[in-house]
Structure 1
Amino acid sequence: MDMCLLVAKGITDFPSSAFKLTGFIDVYWIVQDGGLCLLMAYLLKQHKVWRGCKLRIIAIAQESDNNLKMQSELQKYVYQLRIDAKILIVELADPEISKNAFERTLLMEERTMYLKQMQESRRENNPLSFSRGISVSLVIAENQEKSENNDDEPPERKTTLGKGSKGSRESLEEESGSDETKKKESMKARLLALDRTKVHKMHTAVRLNEIIIEHSVNSQLVLLNLPKPPRGKDGLDDYIHYLEVLSDKINRVIFVRGTGNEVITTDS
């Protein structure tokens, strides 16, 4: 049976019927879905909880798109539907893939690996053993906080180094520098070994999330197209991670996915 799917993030933060909200309901027009996201937002506004909110349609444009034409067509479309909505066109620039996208992909790969290890250990009734030393997430966190810790020397080293221990101090500094270099080289090798398709998908999710945070971080609700789910279980963990990145730091989100046959007509 063909059915539409709605997935809510932050369902515990959704208001009860006793509240009357004001602010914005933002619909992100990322792909053409026949107007289903817009229809959902319009129906929500008929309820007293959301009636005081203003509707905004934020269309994501590529560099090759004609922004003025897109805005004009969308404005005409919502006018014909008799929906009061403000139209915003936001260009999704495609700069070089950021380090953040690589690191998030690496974390996703690590999490998937650990989940598989846990599933295998449950089947075998054996305790889970982590063969890899320091997890990638800890390495990334250490790199991010390195600037804060550069000036802090461990107290153990301070108490053991005296005036005549210049050689020992230099030896320890060389050893520390060598370890840091090895960590950086190991991290670089892991980043380069990542699946480029996954990295590009993660880059898109990161960029879209940056746009959503810029325009809708204080909005009462955000509606997004739900990407096509994987057919099998193998890609499910990656899929969930993409959704988490896409909606990161946004309290209330409704993902909407139709059957592909929905058409909201403008005929009277």
Structure 2
Amino acid sequence: MKIASVTIDNKNHLALYREGKLALLDDYGIKATSVAELSHDDFAKLKDINRFQDYTFSYNSIIDQKSSLLCIGLNYKSHVSEHAGGKIPETPVVFSKANNAFTGNHSIVQTGNGMHMDYEGELCVMIGKTARNVGEANALNYVLGYFIGNDVSSRLMQYKTTQFFLGKSFDNFYPNGPYISIGEINDPQNLTIQTRVNGELRQDSNTGLMIFPVNKLISYISQFMTLRPGDCISTGTPAGVIMGMPESNQKWLGKGDKVEVQITGLGKLETTFE
């Protein structure tokens, strides 16, 4: 099933999503306000919903404001090569983004003045049950679902200090969605991931090329911190970002640019830059 978080007439709803049509969960007595709050009883009800309608709506972030987003750097060898002196990491490179960065499909991101704005199309994983000291063999059992993220970055601020956080956490710097896919992705390491800028293909890879696959990321992180329902892991980006281009070809994102990220089975995430 696919679940979206949407706004209709200034009211937020969770909704089952099917080809642009919605079934609003609160119409069926489901009171959860975020995907992570859905109970076993709620999911049982969802299986019986088959009436979808047309609505005028806007998308919200799939990630709830109360949840944590952990991001993985340098998780594709092709992207490692885009960093000056880049070395393949021996363990996952983990950093975070602030919750003010969470925003939905069709959002607008302000590019600022000379901030060197870049895109990073990524597969994002939402945790479905509390995970602590999880083994790799069992780690995928802790996944609720998968969706698309765009780890927007100000390269100027990202590398101004040794800490990535500020350069990754401007407002709306993590567009995500358009929905979360639950129970539909059998193998998260066999998905095509593509990013286009104004229709031009920039990133074209497969999640099978991750250095650290999803199960290893969950297991590794859970050795040090408890992952709770609703927490998310953005699993890194492949080659093709602006930063990796020759300096003479680098044209940072600016007013009117549109970035589209597509992943097999997860739809298309569209973001406009101004």
TM-score by length of 2: 0.25
TM-score by length of 1: 0.26
Q: Which has the higher helix share?
A: 1
Q: Does 1 or 2 have the higher relative contact order (CA < 8 Å, sep 6+)?
A: 1
